[in-house]
Amino acid sequence: MSSKKIFGIVLAGGEGKRLMPLTADRAKPAVPFGGGYRLIDFALSNLINSGLRQVVVLTQYKSHSLDRHVSQTWRLSGILGSYVASVPAQQRLGKRWFSGSADAIMQSLNLLRDEQPDIVVVVGADHVYRMDFGQMIDAHIASGAGATVAAIRQPISTSDQFGVIEVSDDDPTRIKAFLEKPKNPPGLADAPDEILASMGNYVFDADKLIEGVLRDGQNPDSDHDMGGDLIPDFVSRGDAAVYDFKNNEVPGSTDRDRYYWRDVGTIESFFDAHQDLISTLPVFNLYNRKWPIFSQQLNSPPAKFVRDSEGRLGEVVDSIVSLGCVVSGSSVVRSVVGPWSTITGGAKVTDTVAFERVRIGAGAVVAKAILDKDIVICPGATVGVDPELDRSRGFTVTDSGITIVGKGTTVN
């Protein structure tokens, strides 16, 4: 990576409405994931593994658990000014909250003026992936552009789900147009059935970023969004480059998970991302020791699997079971079980994501569900078996049949 001074910004102030009810009481980046992680751990791990040592997390909505997680988990030594710091909305420009991601940076320009970096890396906080930002920074510097956008190749049929990047005919590293969820964009020259979709990760020359957000802040027609407003402004000035994620080589990656990236901003994508973790050869491999995903280290005993009081054996297949859990004579299949959860007495849990301290009683049946923390499933109760029953009890049931039970609920 370049010897220039690099500063990292994680945008963590969004409301996360599409992940309700998981975001009813917490910021989206603080939502648990994969048993022992929070969503923000993936962005922060990538930045730290890439060599960045000065990183701020811009927070806003329901940020208590997120702020606590950052302060407890992401303590750097402080040597040579190293830190990961949570920075709430400070209302430095008046009595108002962040009105968009670009506005969040504009309201936090004091951070850049204090540190005076050469390069600023700006990333979202709700994506699951591995990426070496050092390689992207080197490509950004070589391009000579003021802004570089990370992009992942996606089937052209999915273009209406993404911000799509159209590259210059003369220079495939330069962005000619930034199209928001187009229906019929042109395919890539080397892959006509693919498009380049924005990953929500950016690298800027610090001075150009400051100029850009100040210019955007003076535009009354702007929504002050990074992808919707700031990047198109750089594109219109011929000052934006693209970084193709396929060129990023992360140590320890497998052929199966090398270019994995998933936006987990919806219940369906959040659920599917968990399913990507649990196979023998996972689509996303949590066990890559050369590029670890860091999180809070719980002072907990190992998981335990035992017979129940009637001597019945259970089974745990294609599943992740976290520290502190006890599975007693029960069946757990294709599921992720969070810390300090208990599943007892012949209960059956299938295709389920359970957060921390979930208790599932004897004979209970849980299928295709997401259970927030501190939930009690009483003996013999069901979740995810009868969608109409679940709705009548006030649970959220998606069109795809995923049942979500909110924090602290007791299910009879």
- In the prediction, which pLDDT does 346 show? 92
DSSP secondary structure letters along 167-227:
E-SS-TTBEEEEEES-SS---BTTBTTEEEEEEEEEEEEHHHHHHHHHHHHT-TT----II
In this structure, what is the dihedral angle of CA atoms 212, 215, 219, 225, given to the nearest 10 degrees? 20
In this structure, the number of other CB atoms found within 10 A of the CB of residue 410 comes to 12
Percentage of the chain exceeding pLDDT 90: 68
pLDDT exceeds cutoff 90 at 16: no
Do the annotations mark residue 181 as ligand-binding? yes
Amino acid found at 268: E
- In the prediction, which pLDDT does 341 show? 97
Per the listing, tokens 């949570």 go with 86
- pLDDT tens profile 265-313: 899 999 999 999 998 889 999 999 999 999 987 789 999 999 988 888 8
Do the annotations mark residue 198 as ligand-binding? yes
DSSP secondary structure letters along 46-109:
HHHHTT--EEEEEE-TT-HHHHHHHHHH-----GGG-EEEEEE---TTSS----SHHHHHHTTH
* β-pair partners for 2: none
pLDDT exceeds cutoff 70 at 386: yes
Structural domains of the chain, with CATH: 6-275 (3.90.550.10), 304-411 (2.160.10.10)
Buried b (16+ CB within 10 A) or exposed e, 32-51: bbbbbbbbbbbbbbbbbbbe
- In the prediction, which pLDDT does 2 show? 65
Pairing of strands 331-333, 359-360: unpaired
Q: Can you tell me the mean pLDDT for 61-75?
A: 86
- pLDDT tens profile 136-177: 999 999 999 999 999 999 999 988 888 899 998 888 899 999
Question: Are 196 and 242 within 8 A, CB to CB?
Answer: yes
Q: What is the distance between the alpha carbons of residues 318 and 334, in angstroms, rounded to a whole number?
A: 5
Question: Are 133 and 257 within 8 A, CB to CB?
Answer: no
- pLDDT tens profile 330-371: 999 999 999 999 999 999 999 999 999 999 999 999 999 999
Nearest one of 190, 162, 159, 164 to 177, comparing CA atoms: 164
DSSP structural state of residue 232: H
Do the annotations mark residue 163 as ligand-binding? yes
**What is the pLDDT confidence band of residue 77, given thresholds at 50, 70 and 90?**
low
Q: What is the distance between the alpha carbons of residues 126 and 105, in angstroms, rounded to a whole number?
A: 18
pLDDT exceeds cutoff 80 at 79: no
Q: What is the distance between the alpha carbons of residues 213 and 210, in angstroms, rounded to a whole number?
A: 6
Q: What is the pTM of this model?
A: 0.93
